[in-house]
Amino acid sequence: MARQLVLGIETSCDETAAAVVIYENGRARVASNVVSSQIKDHAPYGGVVPEIAARKHVEKIDEVIKLTMQQAGIGFSDLSAVAATAGPGLIGGVLVGLLSAKAISLGAGLPLIAINHLEGHALSPKLTQDLDFPYLLLLVSGGHCQILKVEALGIYKRLGTTIDDALGEAFDKTAKLLGLGYPGGPLVENAARLGNPKFPLPRPMLNRDGCDFSFAGLKTAVARLAQSIVAEKGMLSQSDINDICASFQAATIDVLINRLEAAFAISGFDGQDRQLVVAGGVAANQAIRAKIETLCEQRGWRYFAPELKYCGDNGAMIALAGAMRLGEGIVSDFGIKARPRWPLDELSAPLKLKHGYGKKGAKV
Ligand code: KG4
Ligand code: ZN
């Protein structure tokens, strides 16, 4: 296969990111990877504010792309193609990245490749490891919590999904209500490391048919637990917060392990196909990674997770998806539109949820 040199642009949430990836004979090398985080812009609000995110992407995108090209030591004319996230995500941000890619494509006469952000996460371990299709994917991020069969490039079959909140969202909301700050995932993980999982919290969907998830009830139980401690003692001490975080994280791990065991059973994967990829921002959680790795060892599955810097949103996973698509001769029409929602398994049969959606409907 020819050597592909692809610029990837990612702006679907709160990171303005770009990378250049070289893809040759099924192997990737990241030539440059720049991520400009907006965390400090959103922290005062305890979550991502879409309008602020879009404005910050506009302010940063030129600089981030320029730096990415400089660090790779190349010019636009050296590229094989330009790829950008076209959805799902916050539409204002997605538009900024996609339009930037269109401008580069037009100006430099390069093919344009619109990428589904979730496909980027799904392929992310391939940035640094040898991993062949097919594999089972646990995709856990701020906006998504799904288990999919990744059969080949572009062929994804969803086995399970959350019926309400995403897992990263549950971490973020737990952190917010405990006053830990934003983004909550790493802060809850750090507090959990110092705590004792002594509080009994619910394990939603445990042992239910299929492999769907639900996290809204767990989040509410954490809020009630915190309120009851405050009612009793007048405040939450740091050790209370650590214990609540440890109890919350332990509950999420029990749910993840149970749902993965169910997915292993219904996946139909056997022999060499028994490969599990855990990707997305929550895959950066060391306790979650360790428990899933142990489960894989016990059940005879090979375990893969992206390097930590490729768990959260980044341009390298978008560039890789672009390079792989280019290798298959798949490029996008210039009229391609940004999409706030874009399920990865859109081409497969419509999903039939076994348990229906939560009260507010599925957000993910
Ligand atoms: O993939 P990502 O960067 O953005 C989305 O596509 O959503 O994921 C961000 C999410 C946030 O909810 C963040 O709190 C969570 O990933 N996260 C973590 C950890 N690091 C990031 N959750 C649990 N533990 C972590 N160490
Ligand atoms: Zn993401």
Q: What is the CATH number of the domain that holds 317?
A: 3.30.420.40
Same domain assignment for residues 333 and 232: no
| Phi, psi (deg, nearest 5) at residue 172 | -65, -40
Residues 6+ apart with CB under 8 A from 46: 176, 181, 182
Using alpha carbons only, how large is the chain's radius of gyration in Å?
Answer: 20
Same domain assignment for residues 315 and 199: no
Same domain assignment for residues 139 and 287: yes
Same domain assignment for residues 153 and 279: yes
CA 233 distance to own-chain centroid: 38
pLDDT at 133: 97
Q: Cα of 3 to ligand 1 centre, how many Å?
A: 32
Bridge partners (DSSP) of residue 140 are: 145
Segments of the chain scoring below 50 in pLDDT:
347-354, 357-364
Q: Which of 250, 254, 233, 232 is CA-nearest to residue 195?
A: 250
Same domain assignment for residues 109 and 202: no
Ligand 1 atom nearest 172 alpha carbon: 14
pLDDT at 346: 78
Q: Cα of 308 to ligand 2 centre, how many Å?
A: 13
pLDDT at 345: 85
Residue identified by tokens 């802060």 is: 187
Cα–Cα distance measured from residue 110 to residue 115, given in angstroms and rounded to the nearest whole number: 15
pLDDT at 46: 86
Pairing of strands 15-24, 27-37: antiparallel
CA atoms within 13 A on the CB side of 4: 28
For ligand 1, whether the C-beta of 143 sits within 6 Å is yes
Same domain assignment for residues 111 and 165: no
Same domain assignment for residues 301 and 180: yes
Same domain assignment for residues 39 and 122: yes
Cα dihedral 171→190→245→278 (10° resolution)? 50
Same domain assignment for residues 315 and 300: no
Task: Check if the beta carbon of residue 215 is closer than 8 Å to that of residue 162.
Answer: yes
Same domain assignment for residues 338 and 244: no
Same domain assignment for residues 93 and 14: yes
CA 238 distance to own-chain centroid: 30
Last residue of a domain, one of 278, 305, 332: 305
Last residue of a domain, one of 284, 305, 326: 305
* Nearest ligand to the CA atom of 283: 1
Q: Could you tell me the strand order of the sheet in which 27-37 lies?
A: 27-37, 15-24, 4-10, 81-87, 112-116
Domain that holds residue 320: 4-127+310-362
Q: Which of 223, 218, 221 is CA-nearest to residue 204?
A: 218
Residue identified by tokens 């981030």 is: 64
Q: For every residue of 1-48, which 3-state class applies, written as one string? A: CCCEEEEEEECCCCEEEEEEEEEECCEEEEEEEEEEECHHHHHHHCCC
Residue type, 242: N
For ligand 1, whether the C-beta of 89 sits within 6 Å is no
Cα–Cα distance measured from residue 279 to residue 309, given in angstroms and rounded to the nearest whole number: 11
Same domain assignment for residues 47 and 94: yes
Domains in the chain: how many in total?
Answer: 2
| Mutation choice for ligand 1 from 138, 145, 165, 282, CB with most ligand atoms inside 8 A | 282
For ligand 1, whether the C-beta of 120 sits within 6 Å is no
